[in-house]
Structure 1
Amino acid sequence: MTTGAPLDPIAEARRQWLRRWPEHAEHMAAITSVMRVQQILLGEVERALKPYGLTFASYEALVLLHFSRAGRLPLGKMGERLMVHPTSITNTIDRLQAAGLVRRVPDPADRRRVLAEISERGRQVAVAATEVLNGIDFGLGMLSEREAVALSGLLRRIRQAAGDFGPEAADPWASATG
């Protein structure tokens, strides 16, 4: 990782693109910026979660269970809500179970189906890890609340175009940006 480099590599790439493909330069710079920011934010969030033995993916799964009414959900539903492949959620639950944060239980409504259920220790870890992430504003502390809302709104447009949700889905940021 570099710190305080005298040259912004993305700005330099943009400059080169402007010379060769000016009609695509801003989109190239935007995607490169998004990808780099994703690396930065994931690194910061994962450093904050490391004392809890969590990755961001396992934190998201743990918090999803913590927020659920009964503290348990089918693995398939978790994969859908977290927008990950079924294999990924299985591996995540395996790691959380090995750490004693969740357990697999049979679904009382359909014993062929398995649910992930958060343990009391899992609830404690979810709360403590959330406090730490809230304390660093999930790595976005340099943005004002208004800027974070604007960023979420812009990224939502990309997610919608990719099919993450349909046009009928309510936009929770619409009133916050207007």
Structure 2
Amino acid sequence: MDGYGLPMASFDILLRLVRSPDHRMPMTKLAREAALSSGGFTKVADRLAKADLIRRVPSETDRRVTYAELTEHGLDVANRARTTCARVLREHVLAPLGKTDSEALAQAMRTLREANTPQD
């Protein structure tokens, strides 16, 4: 994302983590939700870890599971980027649409999210 030095795939991962409980998620679930191959996700996760935005945390109860978890720096960057993204969307999408069309867009997005959310 411009201004943060984040490619969209990285921003997507940070956004998913900032919305998750404890700002962490199993890496396999995160890759699936971000629609990335395991190899593609590994590359993104490696870059995020190298930039101190996430850390890999082994599960205490299942050694097959590794979590991606936001670092303190990652949480700060994710929150600032999310705020910037929300401002840009308000200015460039919602304002031109107006109230009625913005509400219709929001409803359409909810419908799409529900239809495309994987059921665990």
Length-normalised TM-score, structure 1: 0.54
Aligned equivalents of 1:98, 1:56: Cα separation in 2: 17
Aligned equivalents of 1:100, 1:93: Cα separation in 2: 10
Aligned equivalents of 1:83, 1:149: Cα separation in 2: 27
Q: CA RMSD in A?
A: 2.7
TM-fit CA distance, 1:113: 2.2
Q: What SS does the aligned partner of 1:50 have?
A: coil
Aligned equivalents of 2:14, 2:117: Cα separation in 1: 23
TM-fit CA distance, 1:155: 9.3
Q: Are 1:76 and 2:31 matched, yes or no?
A: no
TM-fit CA distance, 1:144: 2.5
The counterpart of 1:105, out of the listed 57, 62, 85, is 57
Give the number of equivalent residue pairs.
Answer: 115
Length-normalised TM-score, structure 2: 0.77
**Alignment correspondent of 2:105:** 151
Stretches of structure 1 lacking an aligned partner (at least 5 in a row): 1-48, 170-178
Q: Are 1:124 and 2:80 matched, yes or no?
A: no
Structure number with greater CO (CA < 8 Å, separation at least 6) is 2
The counterpart of 2:93, out of the listed 140, 154, 157, is 140
After superposition, the Cα gap between the structure-2 partners of 1:101 and 1:165, relative to the gap in structure 1 and judged at 3 Å, is closer
